Each structure stands twice: as C-alpha cells, then as structure tokens.
Structure 1
Amino acid sequence: MPEKYDDHALDGEKNAVDVQLGEFIDPAREKKLLAKLDLALVPIIMLTYLACFLDRSNIGNVKVAGMPEDIGASAEQFSTAVSLMYLTYVLCETPWAVLLKKFTPKYTIGGLCVVWSLTTIFSGFVTSVGGLYAARLVLGACEGGLFPGLNLYLTMIYKREEMAKRVAYLFVCTALAGAFGGLLAYGILQMDGVAGMAGWRWVYIIEGIFSVGVAVVVFVFLPNDPNNAYFLNDDDKRLMQIRARQRAAYMGSEDFSWAEVKIALTDPKVVLSGLIQFCQDILLYGFSTFLPSIIKSLGYDSLQAQYLTIPVYIFGGLAFLAVAWFSDRTSIRGPLVAFANIFGIIGYILIICPTPNGVKFFGTFLCAVAVYNGPGLNMSWLNVNVAPQYRRATAIGFQQTIGNTAGIVAGQIYRKSPYVLGNAFSLGALGMAQILIACKWLYLRHCNNVKQRIADGAEDTRRVQTGDAATDFKYHL
C-alpha cells in the first residue's frame, strides 16, 4: 500500500502510523518530542532571525535620530540606501537556499550571521553616502540566505501540518525586532555624545555586537542533523527516524536535480505565490522600516516615535501567532491571508484619510495584522504544498526573490512626510494581493479536483506527475 500524502489522514491517532512501514508512534510520546524540539531549536532559530531583522530595519530607527543629516544624505539618497540592500538580497536568496545542504545549516547560517553582524558594526562608522551604500549591499547579500535557509531547516524537523506555527515564529521575530529595536534604540540614543559619537552610531555598534553573540550561539548549539541532535536520547532519535520516513514523500530525494528546479520555476502556484509575496512584502518592508517615521509624522518627537512603535509591533506579532495556530489546526491557508488583509485595508484607509492623529495611530495597529500575517501565512501556504526537497528549496527561494524585490520599491515610495504615496501604494498592493490570493486558491482547488478524477480512473495527461503533483498529495487551500 503506497504512503498517503493526504494531511487529513495524518490527524489524531492516524498521525501516529507510518502507513507504508506500519511503524507506530505513541501520540503522547510524539507530543513530548515536539516540545523538546521546540524548546531546544526554536529559540535559536527565532534569535537568529530576530538579529537579522533588527540589523536590517534599524535604518528606520537611525533615520529619525539624525543619521542622514550627519552623513550628508538627501531624502532620495537615503531611500536609495534602503532599496539597495534588497538588490543583493534577492539575488542571493535562491543560491543560498540550494547551497544550504552542501555547506550544512550550521556553517551556512552561522557564517552569514558573522558577516552581517560585522557589517552592522562597521555601519556605525560610515561618514558618507557611499559607505552606507556599500554596507547595505553586503548586508543584503548575507541576509538574503537566512530566511530560505531557516525555512528549509524547519522542513528537516516538522511535518506539513506542523509547519505554519513554526514559520509563524520566524515572522513574529520581525514584530519583536520592531518592538525590541524601538525600545533598544530609545535606550541607546541616550548615549548620544558618548566617546564623541552620535547616538545613532551606537545603535549600529551595539546591535551588531548583539548579532555577533547570536552567531556564536548558532555555531555552538544548532545541530546540522536534527534527527541526531545532541539533546535527543536514543528513544527520541528512533522516533525522529520514523518521523523522517513519514515525511519522506514531503521531503523527497536529497539528490540535487535540475529537473526539479525547472518544475518549480514553471509551476503556476509558485509564480502566484511569489506575486502575492511581493504585494505583502510591500507592507512588511515599508511598515517595518518606516513606522518610526510614520508615527513621527503624526506630530510626535523622535524619541516618542521610537517607543510608540513597540505596542504596534507586539500587537501584530500576537495576531500572527493566533492566526497561524488556527491555520495549523484547520489546514486553512489562503482564506486566512485574505481575512488578515481586510484589517490592513481598513488601517491604511484610516491613515490616509483626514482623520484625527489618534485614529491614524489606531490604524497602524490594524495594518500590523496584515503586515505579519500576509507574508508569513503565504510563505507557509507554499511550503506545505511543494515537494520534494529541491523543488521546495527552489520554490521557496524563487518566492522570496520575487517577494523581496518589494524592498526595493518600499524604499522609493516612503520618501517624504506624511508618506501619503507610500501608504496609498501599500493599500493598492493589498487590493492586488486579494485578487491573486483568490486566483491561487481557485487554481489549487482545480488541481485537487483533477487529482481526484485521476484517482477515480481518468487518464493522467499532466506533464508533471511526481512529488506534490502525485494524485495522493492533497494541496492545502
């Protein structure tokens, strides 16, 4: 009897049985194993992504602290610096995703963390626009490999129905980075004048040193092979091997194949996912980078703008955790992305329209729901619907490459207070995302219907019939 791909056949007690091998996992024992994995690995993964996003988005904090004026950067040049990071970022995502297996997770992720940390520290000593440009280009080249790498690492540990919540942890880190970054920047800026340096320079230096410490944690504690991790006992390792066989259809062969790369790049659901991610990332990068500036444009001073970002980011992160948990429980993906976007649409309308500043500030909370749920849920929606491994690695890298070009756009649309262009563009991106989400949902439903007809005896004339195209692999909608 062939192994079934249908995730619903893996729920409850059925999830404890490898239908191909007949191996049994006690559900209670598996739950304890998952708790141990989460406790040991998720904090490291979250800490690494927190450091990454902190070093990427702190340019928004230093902007309101006087950095552009100190280095002689005009508004246009500063926007260019924001955009430049995403140029190398998008070019490096897919190569790093594919090379992760060759260089191993520990050395790939840890090595990238070291280089971007040092780059962040050196950013505290730039004296010209050219120096800022160079630092941002290096930062993008290193950080571009992190999210695809961490996402692939998660697929080495968790099953399809366990993924959305773990991917949510990564995107919650973007919210934590905003909240922690605002709080940290508020505190560090009090060092203005220490050792004869401006406060914004200390923001870069101290946050960069923090990231170096994170790199050490990665090198010491992140196992290259989670199935044989140092914190697992012999029974745990046996269960991990059984789980690995249960995920075999999802993971697929570990041998590199150009054919799988080609299939991923020509897959309509991957292309649609990339376009959705582009629209959602317009919000993510515009909001996370320029929220201090947006709040300052409401009439607050620079320090107030730093700490007022904190509750907004925390609310967005908590909203994402709640929706991601529900998504894993129900295997509902696309409709939840569209639902979260409704909050963002309302939020941006409140900010753009001539409403009181208090209402505009409330609008930022609504925007935060879409800012984090949109890209995070769309990422997990693709992740659980592509197999085998190198097809998935290419799909993730391609989706993130298309999506992260939004960072280039975000730097150009948020130029001058009160940022009407940037907020209006973000609103339009949400509207376009809703259309694309509907198209992808209808396409996946069509694919599931075609598979069902083939399973019922119809002729299979499809070009691709393996991996996620197999008739017993049911796409999550």
Structure 2
Amino acid sequence: MPGSVSSDPVVKEKTSQSSVQESRIEDADVSGVNMKALMRKIDIRLMPWLCLLYLLSFLDRSSIGNAKLYGLLPELKMSDNEYLIALSLFFIPYALGEVPSNILLKRLRPSIWLSILMIVWSIAMTAQGLIHNYAGLLSMRIVLGLAEAGLFPGVTYLLSCWYKRAEFGLRLAIFFSCATLSGAFGGLLAFALAKMDGIGKHSGWAWIFIIEGIATFIAAVLSFWLVHDFPDNATFLNEYERAAVIGRLQDDAQWSAAGEKLKLRNVWQAFKDWKTWVGMVIYAGLDGPLYAFSLFVPSIVAELGFSANRANLLTIPVYVWACFCTIAVGFFADKFNKRGVFNLLCFGMGLIGAAILIASRNASLSYFAVYVMAGGIYPLIPNTAVWVANNVEGTYKRGVVIGMVVGFGNLNGVVSGQIYRAKDAPWYRTGHSAMFAYFAIGFIFTLIMMYGLRRENARRDRGERDEKILGSAEELTAHGRGGTFTSIDEARTEKGDLWSGFRYVI
C-alpha cells in the first residue's frame, strides 16, 4: 500500500485515489452530509456578496473614464497628459499591494481584511468628488489603488480554497462578470448621476464619485458579517460540514485545505516556480488590454461621432456581450477541465478585434470590433487566474503566486493609461496597435505554458519524478530524483504541486 512501511527500503510513489485520501480529515463522520445541498449552501453564502463587492470595485476604479466625459478635465484645469498620468498612477500601488495583501488575508481572515480595505477605498472614492485640483486627484488615485489591490487576488485566492479545480472556473467567471456588468451599469449610472450637476454646488462628474463612494462604504461595513472566511474556520458550517468540504478538496489534490502554517519556503517556492513567471507574462497580455478597454471605451465610442450621453449608453450592450462570453467560457472550461485552449481562443478574438480597429476607418465597423475585442478580453481574466490557481498546491504558495501573477498584470495598467492619447483621435491607431501586441504576447506564452505543463505531466507518468519512500527517518540517506521521504503524506505536504502524484491542468 502507498505510504506503508515496507521491508523493501524503496517504495515507488503511487497516484491512486486511495493515496490522495491519506491526509484527509478522519475524525468526523461526514456520511450524513448531503454534498449537493452543502455546495448550494456555500454558493449562496459566498458568491452573491463577493460579486457585489467586485462590481463596486471595478465601478469605482473605472468611473473616472465616465467622469471625463462630463467635464472633469476643464474644471480641474487638467491637460490630457495629466489625465493619463492620473490613470497610470493608480496601477503602481495597485500592483505592488497584491502579494502582501494575500498574505495578510490569510493571517487576518477575509472578513476583516477585505472589509478594512473597502472602507479605505470608499473614503478615497468619495474624496475624488470633493477635490478642487490635480494634486488632490493624484493623491486619491494612489490611495484608491493601494486599497483596491487586495480584492480580486484575495477573492480568487479565497474561492480557490473552497472549490475543486474543475468547478472553480465557473464561480470565478461569475464573480468577474461583475466587471462587465459594472461597465454596463457604470455608463448608465454616470448618465443618471451627471444630471445632479449643480446640486450642492457640485458638478455632475463629482456626484459620480461621491454617490459611488458612499455606496461602497455601506457595503464595506456590512462585509464584516457577510464576507466569510476559509473552510477550516467558516462559522456558517458545522464541524461535519467543514470536514466534508476539506475532505473533498483533499480528494482533489488540495492537501493543505485543512490548514497550513506560514513558512518562508512557501514564498520562496512561488518565486522559484517557472509557472509563476510564465503566468505573469500571460496575465500582462490580457490585463493591459483590459484596463485600456475599460478606461477608454467611452471615449473611443464618443470619438466615432456620438455625444457623451449616447457614447455611455452605447457601451452597455458591449459589456452585456462580454458578460455572456465570460460565463460561457467559465462553464465550458470547467466542463472539459481545459484552460489553455480557451485562452488561445480568447486571445485570438482579441487579435482579430484589435486588427479590425487598426485597419478600420468606418464607425460601424469599429463599433463591431469593440464587441469582438470585449468577447476576448473579459473571459481571459478569470480563466487565466483559475488556470494559475489550479496548478499550485499549498495555500500560502497559491496566495503568493496569485498575488504575483495578478500584480504584474495590473502593473501594465500603467501602460494602458498612456496608449490612448487625444491627439490620436478618432481612430487611436497607436492604442489599438499596443493592444494587438499585448494579445500576441499572451497567445505565445499560453502556448509555452501548455507545452511546459504537458511535458511535466508526461515525465510524471513515466515515473521520472517519483519520490523514494523509506521506512524510517534513519533510512533517509538515499536520494531519489524526486526526493526521499518517510511517507507519501510527508512527500506531498512538503512538495505541494511538485509531488509526483500531482497532475497539472492543461
């Protein structure tokens, strides 16, 4: 039997289901737990509120694009270059805060940490509507970026600790689809709030920031009770339900689901893993276009000959289409347990959309290309984040890897804020060309990731990564290619996704 003490000093690693269950929680009898009802309960408790929080997050960060259409620049006496700097400045603290935020999320609990972050960014958001100069806008964009840094990677990390690898994609797709809804809702909300122009001596653009900031503050306070923690200490589950959730995760090769202590090597393993660095480049290839699209699509549509109000309204069906594509890709990627091929499909759509925009000199054709591009950009975010999370075992390592990947991708928002310049209107060839380059990089590095994962799985299938399992600690003198351990449980706990029995999702 795998993991048993044998008279033969070397026992090859097995990959059977029975060996995967060796470290699961065994003290509680979970035979009476209805798993379907339990998963519905988890979905209802986790997903709706987290989705609302992300809608508010994306709405808050991108509403500056709507505010621009209603007089933000002339009232603050800003040039187009200064506006672009304000956009880019947000992404520097936003990117740098990802990894430390995920570590603190695990240490302080999601219900506390995420709520604190939201309170901070809601105050910064509201303050953007009360400023009177360019310096005030820059300072609030820095605070907003730092506070918002923790939400997307934090929720991605949190959900990856609740769901199996083949059911995580749809959940994160539904969560991220709120970014598309915020694009649609943001245009409609900006259209309505701009009509408050003059009330309380505030301009219409200022009311966009003020009202959205107040709504976020209310949600932040409620989040102390409505955001839930990790499975091993979730208060809405009883001890049998917690054991059942942890057990099914461990059956899915997530052995750290029962809890893990923070060790420096968890962070070091994330930095040494080649998948982290390839994932960072892939995420850059999709995040650059995402932020350029969300920040500038109202301006792009407006420059095609539409008024500010009509331009905002015409962005709504674009985001509805993007929402549909995001959920569809999440569903089918889970169904077939494939991530890379869907990345290639979406990057391909992005390349086609960008190519049409570069070549087009027709407003209707350009508007069509915006749909094609949106259908490629938005599904890429959750699909890539899930792909990265699927292939990392160890709760702290996964948190650091997700933070690094998402953080580096978000750093490209600095570039996104600079590529659509007023002097290039109405066709923005420079901006569209930059997006095409991003999509091409993402497509190429997706192929590299798929090749690397397939090659590593094949090596494990051939036994090239097998560990040596010895009968006692005194026998730990030989060294197998995969390492030498006293038990299978020790091997997979120490090695995480590097364990020979772990298979990567391609």
- The match for 1:258 among 264, 273, 276 is 264
* Partners of 2:23 and 2:255 within 8 A in 1: no
CA distance in 2, matches of 1:19, 1:313: 46
CA 1:250 to 1:449, structure 2 compared with 1: closer, same or farther past 3 Å?
farther
Q: Which residue of 1 aligns with 2:433?
A: 424
The question of whether the paired residues in 2 share the 8 Å contact of 1:280 and 1:433 is answered with: yes
Aligned amino acid, residue 384 of structure 2: N
TM-score (norm 1): 0.92
5+ long unaligned stretches in structure 1: none
How far the C-alpha of 1:237 sits from its partner, in A, is 4.0
Matched with 2:451 is 442
Give yes or no for the alignment of 1:390 onto 2:399. Answer: no
1:96 corresponds to which residue? 101
2:144 is matched with: 139
Q: 1:335 corresponds to which residue?
A: 341
**Structure 2 matches for 1:78-477, cutoff 5 A?**
78-227=83-232, 229-232=234-237, 236-243=241-248, 245-246=250-251, 248-249=254-255, 251=257, 254-416=260-422, 417-418=425-426, 419-454=428-463, 461=481, 466-477=495-506
Deviation larger for 168-177 or 435-444: 168-177
Q: CA separation in 2, counterparts of 1:429 and 1:203?
A: 31
**Secondary structure of the equivalent of 1:310?**
helix
Mean alpha-carbon deviation: is it higher for 457-466 or for 217-226? Answer: 457-466
Counterparts of 1:91 and 1:114 in 2: how far apart (Å)?
19
Deviation, structure 1 residue 234: 6.3
- How much does 1:467 deviate? 0.6
Q: Which moved more, 1:396-405 or 1:447-456?
A: 447-456
User: Normalized against structure 2, the TM-score is what?
Assistant: 0.87
Give the paired residue count.
Answer: 470
Cα shift readout 1:71-126 (whole Å, capped 9, x = no counterpart) = 01111110000000111111111111111122111110000000000110000011
Superposition deviation, residue 29 in structure 1: 2.6
Can you give the 5+ residue segments of structure 2 that lack an aligned partner in the other structure? Answer: 4-12, 468-478, 484-490
Q: What per-residue deviation string (whole Å, max 9, x for no partner) do you get for residues 127-178 of structure 1?
A: 1111110000000111111112111211231122221112212321111111
Give RMSD over aligned pairs. Answer: 2.6
Percentage of identical aligned residues: 33
Q: Tell me how far apart the structure 2 counterparts of residues 111 and 389 of structure 1 sit (CA, whole Å).
A: 22
- Shifted more, 87-96 versus 463-472: the winner is 463-472
Q: Distance in 2 between the 1:456 and 1:237 partners?
A: 33
- 1:281 and 1:406 in contact (8 A); partners too: yes
How far has the Cα of 1:229 moved from its partner?
Answer: 4.1
Contact 2:231/2:242, CA 8 A, preserved across alignment: no
Answer whether contact 1:342 1:370 (CA < 8 A) is retained.
yes
SS of residue matched to 1:391: helix
Distance 2:461 2:455 in 1: 10
SS in 1 for 2:360: coil
For the 8 Å contact 1:252–1:467, the answer to whether it is kept is: no
C-alpha displacement of 1:19: 6.6
> 1:242: how far off?
3.1
SS in 1 for 2:191: helix
1: CA distance between counterparts of 2:31 and 2:290? 40
| Superposed displacement of residue 199, structure 1 | 0.4
CA distance in 2, matches of 1:158, 1:170: 14
Tell me: CA distance 1:422–1:355, structure 2 relative to 1, closer, same or farther (3 Å): same
One-letter amino acid of the counterpart of residue 500, structure 2? T
Larger Rg: 2
Q: Tell me if structure 2 keeps the 8 A contact 1:192–1:199.
A: yes
Q: Which amino acid aligns with 1:467?
A: G
Judged with a 3 Å threshold, the aligned counterparts in structure 2 of structure 1 residues 166 and 79 are, in CA distance, closer, same or farther, namely: same
Q: Deviations over 1:430-450 (max 9, x none)?
A: 111111111111011111111
